[in-house]
Homo-oligomer: A and B are copies of this chain.
Amino acid sequence: MPQNTDQPDIMQTLTVNLGDRSYPIHIGPGLLDRADLILPHLAQKRVFIVTNTTVGPLYLDRLSRTLADAGVRITSVVLPDGEAYKNLETLNLIFDALLTDRAERKTTLVALGGGVIGDITGFAAASYQRGVPFIQVPTTLLSQVDSSVGGKTGVNHPLGKNMIGAFWQPQLVLADTDSLNTLPDRELSAGMAEIIKYGLITDAGFFGWLEANIARLMTRDTAALTEAIYRSCDNKARVVAADEREAGLRALLNLGHTFGHAIEAGMGYGNWLHGEAVAAGTMLACDLSCRMGLFTRADCDRAAALFKAANLPTVAPALDAAEYLRHMGEDKKVEGGKLRFVLLRAIGEAFVSESPADLLQQTLTEAVA
């Protein structure tokens, strides 16, 4: 079978340990050509590849050829591109295709694209006939380090983001670093926001590595990207393995996300990229941590410097504080009506806490643009 093995030694593999739902993540160049990595995970030589109008023209033929040459029958479903289409109506287009072409219970859904494609295809896989296998082939940096790990799938509702979905684990994740070569600069940066986040949450060593290697990463050095994706997935996988259904520890992954979701909602979804909102949101969390006497301004500055080196915004937009609070109230992390935040007590040491209302108010008025 065809293999692009000009850089085989660069591929890294890690396993997400979830008992009988454990799965491997392969990271490196040329993986779209590696039928040998995919075939062992197909229960049936039949797949539906779900992609979008942006990624499809770039990579659908290549992945299809890899699978077809290995005797796999393929139906492809090309969805419109964008977060605006991450909804029940678009989900139903996948169901239409699955039923029209008679997907069975052992048929595998393959998500070829970024986070939206992964989330919506994963939810289709979780729900079609109450659950069929799926494989993630994330093609953006953000989806390679974030949405492809952890089993969160779903769609948006007009009244809230990611409000409808399921926890559903893939059989396999193939993160082909070659696909990052066609990624717009702004999206590369947005992915870097999540990578930096892992360092801040639990891995000061990785944060230091990122400070030393950010220039190589921004020039898309394959080996550096492979290492950064591996270490990000490894960080996330360990958190997810310890807390699959988001009861506790997993909440740490939401560093910057409560503020970030408010920024995205307040500015209108799509105007700020998710990663950009997470970067600015993380700086708000850093600021709030400082005001609570937990975190130093010097560490705040280190975080800001790394985000800036990744061409990310470090100052949140000056929405009205009340608007921030309103958007944060819609967030899934509300429990018993109280707002809880992921805060920092050092680089690499995140924790969850409620926050005094007055300090939160200060952050929302003084730390914004």
Contact = CB atoms under 8 A, between A and B. Distances in A.
Interface in A329-343: 329-330, 332, 334-336
Contact of A130 (B105, B165, B330): B165
A104 B335 contact: yes
Contacts of A165: 127, 129-130
A159 B106 contact: no
A48 interface: no
Given A88-B88, A99-B159, A157-B95, A166 B131 contact: yes
Main DSSP-derived SS at the A contact region: mixed
Interface in A69-109: 88, 91-92, 95-96, 99-100, 102, 104-106
Nearest to A333: B105
A96 B164 CA distance: 11
Contacts of A88: 88, 91-92
B131 A167 contact: yes
A269 interface: no
Contacts of A96: 157, 159
B160 A99 contact: yes
Nearest to A159: B99
Contact of A106 (B102, B126, B153, B335): B335
Contacts of A164: 95, 127-128
Interface in A168-194: none
Given A88-B88, A126-B166, A164-B95, A336 B44 contact: yes
Contacts of A129: 163, 165, 332
B127 A157 contact: no
Given A99-B157, A157-B95, A167 B332 contact: no
A275 interface: no
A363 to B, nearest CB: 24
Contacts of A329: 102
Nearest to A164: B127
Contacts of A127: 127, 154, 164-166
A100 B160 CA distance: 10
Interface of A: 44, 88, 91-92, 95-96, 99-100, 102, 104-106, 126-131, 152-154, 157, 159-160, 163-167, 245-246, 329-330, 332, 334-336
20 contacts: A88-B88, A88-B91, A88-B92, A92-B157, A99-B157, A99-B159, A102-B329, A104-B334, A104-B335, A106-B335, A126-B166, A127-B154, A127-B165, A130-B154, A130-B165, A130-B246, A131-B166, A131-B167, A131-B245, A166-B166
Given A127-B164, A128-B164, A166-B166, 7 more contacts: A88-B88, A88-B91, A102-B334, A105-B332, A127-B166, A130-B165, A130-B246
